[in-house]
Chain A
Amino acid sequence: MTEKTGTPAKRQVHLAAGVPGVNHYTVWGDPTAGSQIDFDTFEHVAKTAERGFFDYFFLAEGLRVRERNGQLHELDVAGRPDNLTVLAAVAGVTKHIGLVATASAVFNEPYDLARKLASLDHLSNGRAGWNIVVSADAFTGENFRRGGYLPYDERYDRAGEFVDLSRVLWDSWPENALHSAGADFVSRADVGDYRYSGKYFDTHGQFTVPRSPQGHPVLIQAGDSADGRDFAVRTVDVVFSRHSEPEAGRAFKRDISARAVAIGRDPESIKVIPGASVVLGDTEAEARERAREISFAQVTPQTAIALLQQVWGTDLSGYDPDGPLPAVPTTDGDDVIQGIARRHDDRLATAREWFARAEAENLSIRQLVVAATTRHEFIGTASQIAQQLDEAVQSRAADGYVLSGNVVPHGIDEFVDQVVPILQERGVLRTEYAGATLRETLGLGELPVTTSWAERRAS
Chain B
Amino acid sequence: MSEHLHLSVALDGAGWHPWAWKDARVRPAALFGADYWIEQVATAERGLLDFVTIEDSFALQTGAAFTHDDRTDHVTGRLDAVELAARIAPETTRIGLVPSTDTLQTEPFHLASALATVDFASRGRAGWRVRAGGARESENFGRRETFELTLDWYRTPEGQAQIARQFDEAVDVIEVVRRLWDSWDDDAVIRDVPTGRFFDRDRVHHVNFESSSFSIAGPSITPRPPQGQVVVTALGHATVPYRLAARGADVLFVTPTSTEDAARIVAEVRELEIEVGRTLPPLRIFADLVVLIDATSAAASTRLERWNELDGAAYVSDAFIVAASASELADLLEEWRDAGIEGYRLRPASAHLDLPAIADQLVPELQRRGIFRHEYEGDTLRGHLGLDRPANRYATATAPRSASTAQNTEN
Q: Residue A14 at the B interface, CB < 8 A?
A: no
Residue of A92, A173, A181 contacting most chain B CB atoms (<10 Å): A92
A319: which B residues are within 8 A, CB to CB?
none
CB–CB B107/A108 < 8 A: yes
CB–CB B216/A144 < 8 A: yes
A167 → chain B, closest Cβ, in Å?
15
* 7 extra A-B contacts, CB within 8 A, seeds A81-B222, A112-B107, A115-B58: A39-B123, A74-B201, A80-B221, A122-B33, A125-B33, A145-B213, A302-B197
Q: Residue B34 at the A interface, CB < 8 A?
A: yes
6 pairs from A and B in contact (CB 8 Å cutoff): A37-B223, A75-B196, A81-B116, A92-B34, A173-B77, A185-B75
CB–CB A203/B142 < 8 A: yes
Q: Residue A91 at the B interface, CB < 8 A?
A: yes
A192-B60 in contact given A186-B72, A209-B78 (Cβ < 8 Å): yes
Q: Which residue of A lies closest to B21 (CB)?
A: A185
A92: which B residues are within 8 A, CB to CB?
34, 87-91
CB–CB B80/A37 < 8 A: no
A109: which B residues are within 8 A, CB to CB?
105-107, 141, 143
A125: which B residues are within 8 A, CB to CB?
33
Q: Residue B219 at the A interface, CB < 8 A?
A: yes
A116: which B residues are within 8 A, CB to CB?
80, 82-83
Cα distance, A75 to B197, chains bound together (Å):
5
A201: which B residues are within 8 A, CB to CB?
142
Cα distance, A117 to B368, chains bound together (Å):
46
B34: which A residues are within 8 A, CB to CB?
91-92, 122-123
Q: Residue A205 at the B interface, CB < 8 A?
A: yes
Cα distance, A65 to B76, chains bound together (Å):
40
A203: which B residues are within 8 A, CB to CB?
139-142
Q: Residue A183 at the B interface, CB < 8 A?
A: yes
CB–CB A65/B219 < 8 A: yes
Stretch in B3-11, B187-195, B288-296 touching the partner: B187-195
CB–CB A205/B197 < 8 A: no
CB–CB A209/B72 < 8 A: no
Cα distance, A430 to B389, chains bound together (Å):
48
Q: Which residue of A lies closest to B195 (CB)?
A: A302
Cα distance, A178 to B28, chains bound together (Å):
6
A123-B117 in contact given A79-B221, A184-B73, A202-B142 (Cβ < 8 Å): no
A301-B222 in contact given A85-B118, A88-B86, A204-B139 (Cβ < 8 Å): no
Q: Which residue of B lies closest to A141 (CB)?
A: B217
CB–CB A85/B121 < 8 A: yes
* Cβ contact of B83, chosen from A71, A77, A84, cutoff 8 A: A84
Q: Residue B369 at the A interface, CB < 8 A?
A: no
Q: Residue B243 at the A interface, CB < 8 A?
A: no
CB–CB A72/B87 < 8 A: no
Q: Residue B153 at the A interface, CB < 8 A?
A: no
CB–CB A72/B140 < 8 A: no
A189-B70 in contact given A123-B84, A142-B216, A178-B29 (Cβ < 8 Å): yes
Residue of B84, B86, B116 contacting most chain A CB atoms (<10 Å): B86
A191: which B residues are within 8 A, CB to CB?
60, 76-77
B22: which A residues are within 8 A, CB to CB?
183
A158 → chain B, closest Cβ, in Å?
14
Interface residues in B180-229 by Cβ distance below 8 A to A read 184, 188-189, 191, 193, 195-201, 204, 213-219, 221-223
Cα distance, A125 to B90, chains bound together (Å):
17
CB–CB A300/B117 < 8 A: no
- 8 closest residue pairs by CB, A with B: A302-B196, A88-B83, A89-B121, A119-B80, A203-B142, A82-B113, A205-B140, A88-B86
A350 → chain B, closest Cβ, in Å?
23
Q: Residue A32 at the B interface, CB < 8 A?
A: no
A175 → chain B, closest Cβ, in Å?
11
Chain A 8-40 against B: per-residue CB contact (8 Å), 1 yes, 0 no? 000000000000000000001100010011110
* Cβ contact of A64, chosen from B120, B199, B217, B222, cutoff 8 A: B217
Q: Residue A174 at the B interface, CB < 8 A?
A: no
Q: Residue B237 at the A interface, CB < 8 A?
A: no
Residue of A75, A89, A144 contacting most chain B CB atoms (<10 Å): A89
A303: which B residues are within 8 A, CB to CB?
196
CB–CB B60/A85 < 8 A: no
- Interface size on B, as a range, is 35 or more
CB–CB B204/A65 < 8 A: yes
CB–CB A145/B72 < 8 A: no
CB–CB B221/A63 < 8 A: yes
B137: which A residues are within 8 A, CB to CB?
205
Cα distance, A448 to B191, chains bound together (Å):
47
B84: which A residues are within 8 A, CB to CB?
88, 119, 123
CB–CB A111/B141 < 8 A: yes
B191: which A residues are within 8 A, CB to CB?
28-29, 33
Q: Residue A436 at the B interface, CB < 8 A?
A: no
Chain B 32-48 against A: per-residue CB contact (8 Å), 1 yes, 0 no? 11100000000000000
A108 → chain B, closest Cβ, in Å?
7
A209: which B residues are within 8 A, CB to CB?
32, 77-80
* Cβ contact of A180, chosen from B29, B58, B114, B222, cutoff 8 A: B29
A298 → chain B, closest Cβ, in Å?
11
A188: which B residues are within 8 A, CB to CB?
72
Interface residues in A130-183 by Cβ distance below 8 A to B read 142-145, 173, 178-181, 183
* Cβ contact of A89, chosen from B89, B105, B110, B189, cutoff 8 A: B89
CB–CB A72/B219 < 8 A: yes
Chain B 61-78 against A: per-residue CB contact (8 Å), 1 yes, 0 no? 000000010111111111
Cα distance, A300 to B195, chains bound together (Å):
9
A107: which B residues are within 8 A, CB to CB?
107
* Cβ contact of B214, chosen from A145, A180, A210, cutoff 8 A: A145
Q: Which residue of B lies closest to A86 (CB)?
A: B117
A271 → chain B, closest Cβ, in Å?
26
Q: Residue A187 at the B interface, CB < 8 A?
A: yes
Interface residues in A300-315 by Cβ distance below 8 A to B read 300-303
Q: Which residue of A lies closest to B111 (CB)?
A: A82
Q: Residue A286 at the B interface, CB < 8 A?
A: no
CB–CB B141/A62 < 8 A: no
CB–CB B120/A37 < 8 A: yes
* Cβ contact of A189, chosen from B27, B71, B197, B216, cutoff 8 A: B71
CB–CB A82/B117 < 8 A: yes
B68: which A residues are within 8 A, CB to CB?
189, 206
Cα distance, A115 to B83, chains bound together (Å):
10
A183-B73 in contact given A76-B198, A142-B217 (Cβ < 8 Å): yes
